[in-house]
């Protein structure tokens, strides 16, 4: 069911690493920041992103174009010259299904992220998917009744969400390093601890 992965960080997905190494899927490693920006480009139906970020690195097509194995043949990054300066052009791509994570969802599909350690490009992913093919699944910790969420905490509007899945706590860790049953307020900026306790 999996044909291609375009990722910015493979370190925490050993199963997918094996598929890439074994040549079972097409696999690209792009820069995480570029991927974040690409979600916005996809959301607005732009053809891709121009950037100097990545020139001369592993994503530069003159150095492999981010391809990780022999099965990966399509060039999704190319060098473009504009007014005498080189840029990398990162081609936009459709997204078939988006899975985003939040803390609370109401019955309208509005999603908050109050206990999440990182919010990053969650909204941009939902927007990119909404404008690609229309299946956005939100994994959350809990449900709330209609119209009971604080609107200032809603980070993904219900109009962007097609399906909400309430995950068991064993599948909804706050971070990869956090124990399953604990929520650490410092991870989501609810409070700050003295620096000396972190050393």
How does pLDDT run across 46-88, given as a tens digit for each residue? Answer: 999 999 999 999 999 999 999 999 999 999 999 999 999 999 9
CATH code, 36: 3.40.1080.10
Q: What is the mean pLDDT of the chain?
A: 89
Residue 188's pLDDT is 67
Do residues 92 and 46 make contact, with C-beta atoms less than 8 angstroms apart?
Answer: yes
**Higher-confidence position of 172 and 130:** 130
Residues 126 and 62 in one domain: no
Sequence-distant (6+) residues with CB within 8 A of 56 are 63
Residue 135's pLDDT is 92
Average pLDDT estimate for 81-103? 93
Residues 86 and 46 in one domain: yes
Q: Tell whether the model's pLDDT for residue 138 goes beyond 90.
A: yes
Residue 94's pLDDT is 86
**Of 65, 91, 117, which one is at a domain's C-terminal end?**
91
Residues 72 and 103 in one domain: no
Residues 19 and 53 in one domain: yes
Residues 192 and 107 in one domain: yes
Residues 104 and 70 in one domain: no
Residues 50 and 119 in one domain: no
Do residues 155 and 125 make contact, with C-beta atoms less than 8 angstroms apart?
Answer: no
**Of 46, 68, 91, which one is at a domain's C-terminal end?**
91
Residues 44 and 115 in one domain: no
How does pLDDT run across 19-43, given as a tens digit for each residue? Answer: 999 999 999 999 999 999 999 999 9
What is the residue range of 108's domain? 98-198
Residues 137 and 81 in one domain: no
Q: Tell whether the model's pLDDT for residue 90 goes beyond 60.
A: yes
Q: Tell whether the model's pLDDT for residue 104 goes beyond 70.
A: yes
Between the ranges 56-60, 96-100, 179-183, where is the mean pLDDT highest?
56-60
Query: Considering its fold, how many domains does the chain have in total?
Result: 2
**Higher-confidence position of 179 and 144:** 144
Average pLDDT estimate for 157-184? 78
Q: pTM for the whole thing?
A: 0.81
* Locus of tokens 């990722």: 7
**Of 91, 124, 141, which one is at a domain's C-terminal end?**
91
Residues 103 and 190 in one domain: yes
Residue 39's pLDDT is 94
Reported as a pLDDT band with limits 50, 70 and 90, residue 126 is: very high
């Amino acid at each position: 069911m999996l044909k291609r992965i375009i990722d910015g960080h493979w370190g925490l997905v050993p199963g997918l690493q094996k598929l890439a190494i074994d040549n079972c899927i097409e696999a690209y490693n792009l820069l995480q920041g570029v991927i974040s920006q690409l979600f916005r480009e996809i959301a607005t139906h732009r053809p891709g992103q121009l950037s100097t970020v990545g020139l001369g690195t592993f994503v530069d097509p003159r150095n492999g174009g981010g391809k990780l194995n022999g099965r990966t043949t399509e060039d999704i990054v190319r060098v473009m010259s504009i007014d005498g300066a080189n840029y990398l052009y990162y081609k936009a791509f459709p997204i078939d299904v988006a899975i985003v994570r939040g803390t609370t969802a109401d019955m309208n599909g509005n999603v908050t992220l109050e206990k999440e350690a990182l919010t990053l490009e969650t909204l941009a992913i939902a927007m990119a998917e909404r404008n690609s093919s229309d299946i956005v699944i939100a994994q959350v910790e809990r449900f709330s009744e209609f119209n009971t969420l604080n609107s200032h905490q809603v980070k993904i509007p219900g109009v962007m969400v097609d399906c909400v899945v309430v995950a068991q706590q064993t599948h909804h860790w706050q971070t990869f390093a956090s124990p399953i049953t604990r929520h650490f307020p410092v991870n989501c900026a609810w409070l700050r601890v003295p620096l000396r306790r972190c050393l």
